């Protein structure tokens, strides 16, 4: 019996915060894909950091979150971007599309949004962690009208967790703290709360 319990602990379970085989993003969104980037990227799985869009994600496709983070780093190091260097990035890692609150767009896998936050020590977020049941129920039909890019009817359901991953460059993330996004904002297991930041991104001009 003791051996069986030890094996069960070693093998883990969906929701333990570790993405381990046989878990995948399709079978355990709570844990997967987990952090896949270098520590400097400040990645927080299931998060949608805000900020001024210095690179429009819909036309900026990368193969992985790591590539997206690298693009943010390169943008920040380019002297021509000194006015608004990238310090916040968001990557769509869900196939084939990522659910989002902006119903006028369809966000495809690989979208890499590069952003600039005025105060990265107090970052803004649009969504974090798990969606509450009330949130999922209220927004259940947000992406159930219109057509997908391939011409098929749009039928995206609200997932259990934020289908994006992102980070604040250089931030240290405590992954033991769990976030939840509801209709009135975001709350953490540590007692923190944040209001919903609604993205008003625009192309960088000038």
Using omega within 30 degrees of 0 as the cis cutoff, is the peptide bond preceding 151 cis? Answer: no
Lowest mean pLDDT segment, chosen from 22-26, 101-105, 174-178: 101-105
pLDDT band at 204 (very low <50, low <70, confident <90, very high): very low
Whole-angstrom distance, CA of residue 119 vs CA of residue 46 = 21
Digit-coded pLDDT (tens) for 133-150: 999 999 999 888 888 888
Average pLDDT for residues 55-65, to the nearest whole number?
97
Residue linked to tokens 């193969």:
63
Digit-coded pLDDT (tens) for 88-100: 999 999 988 899 9
Q: Which two tokens stand for residue 190?
A: 């540590």
Whole-angstrom distance, CA of residue 11 vs CA of residue 27 = 15
Sign of CA dihedral 28, 129, 45, 106: positive
**CA within 13 Å, CB half, 98:** 26
Digit-coded pLDDT (tens) for 46-58: 999 999 999 999 9
- pLDDT computed for residue 102 by the predictor: 84
């Amino acid at each position: 019996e003791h051996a069986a319990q030890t094996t069960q602990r070693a093998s883990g379970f969906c929701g333990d915060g570790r993405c381990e085989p046989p878990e995948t993003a399709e079978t355990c969104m709570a844990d997967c894909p987990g952090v896949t980037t270098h520590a400097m990227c400040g990645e927080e799985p299931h998060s949608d950091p805000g900020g001024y869009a210095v690179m429009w994600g819909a036309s900026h496709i990368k193969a992985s979150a790591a590539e997206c983070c690298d693009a943010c780093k390169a943008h920040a190091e380019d002297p021509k971007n000194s006015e608004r260097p990238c310090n916040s990035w968001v990557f769509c890692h869900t196939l084939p599309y990522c659910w989002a609150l902006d119903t006028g767009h369809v966000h495809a896998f690989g979208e890499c949004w590069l952003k600039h936050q005025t105060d990265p020590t107090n970052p803004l977020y649009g969504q974090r962690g798990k969606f509450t049941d009330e949130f999922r129920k209220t927004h259940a039909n947000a992406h159930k009208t219109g057509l997908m890019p391939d011409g098929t009817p749009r039928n995206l359901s609200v997932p259990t967790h934020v289908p994006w991953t992102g980070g604040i460059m250089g931030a240290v993330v405590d992954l033991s703290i769990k976030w939840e996004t509801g209709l009135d904002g975001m709350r953490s297991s540590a007692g923190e709360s944040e209001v919903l930041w609604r993205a008003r991104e625009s192309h960088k001009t000038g």
